[in-house]
Amino acid sequence: MTNTPSDPSTTQPGRPPVVDPATWQAARDELLVREKAHTREGDALAAARRRLPMMEFDGTVEVVGPDGPVPFLDLFQGRDELMVYKHMWYDSAPHQGQCEGCTTTAWHLKDAVYLNARGVSYAVLTVGRWDEVASYVEFMGYTQPWYSVRDVDPPVGGHMGHLTSYLRDGDRTFLTYSTTGRGNERVNGSLGLLDMTPYGRGEAWEDKPEGWPEGGDACWSWRSDADGKPTWGPTSRPVPQWTRPGAGPVETLGRQGHHH
């Protein structure tokens, strides 16, 4: 097999050039220098994160889980560290009416065995009423522990949509770190892989070569209809929900108003 570079004149305006292997490797190596610098800066940020001051709070505050109220300390499961995702909640909404971004984040961390192996427990907190939350967790098939923190003060309750880290020292508990927005992308391995593809995430804000497919709105793929078309219309639902049994295009699942 011979490697014959395409005639440069066939390269469409704005698109990346088609080159021979040596030229490709040189360009790849040049980008690798920047990637390594990015990695090292990430390591430095993580080191700074580990040195942030801590905020102590009362770990005996109660949250509600499948067995009723339990002290927040129980979420550590005997370990010293705890990572939680705070899942937004819309009261009385059907399952497809819950937050598509939070669904995406929660869906991507189905298993905490690697966290557990490093002494870190994991849980999902939300402000929904427990009966609604339990129905949603069962529908989605989540196996990680969920708890309602309705009417619980920060730093256990408070604003949702955050990844938050806690530390336990005996019966003392501390908030160490919290992030939101694009900080939550760490959980979402799919976005990291899409960033390595030629067309990227398919979102409108991305800088792409001229002639590459246009992206949709930001986060367009988090909600779609039954055919996979991005939409926020009445037939849409968070993308992972289409894998769940009974998730038809017109069915209303879960609560809505006074109906079950």
Does residue 180 lie within any of the structural domains? yes
Does residue 160 lie within any of the structural domains? yes
Report pTM: 0.89
Q: Residue 21: its pLDDT value, please?
A: 98
The pLDDT tens digits of the residues spanning 184-202 come to: 999 999 999 999 999 999 9
Does residue 201 lie within any of the structural domains? no
CATH number of residue 69's parent domain: 3.40.30.10
Total domains, the chain: 1
Does residue 211 lie within any of the structural domains? no
Q: Dig out the tokens for 243 from the structure.
A: 């894998």
How far is Cα 86 from Cα 181, in angstroms, rounded to an integer? 12
Does residue 17 lie within any of the structural domains? no
Among the residue ranges 3-7, 74-78, 98-102, 129-133, the one predicted with the least confidence is: 3-7
Residue predicted with more confidence, 192 or 12: 192
Domain range for 129: 54-186
* Statement: residue 256 has pLDDT above 70: no
Residue 89's nearest CA partner among 138, 149, 142 is: 149
The pLDDT tens digits of the residues spanning 216-230 come to: 888 778 899 888 888
Does residue 167 lie within any of the structural domains? yes
Q: Residue 152: its pLDDT value, please?
A: 97
Q: Residue 259: its pLDDT value, please?
A: 37
Q: How many Cβ atoms are within 10 Å of 65's Cβ, its own excluded?
A: 19
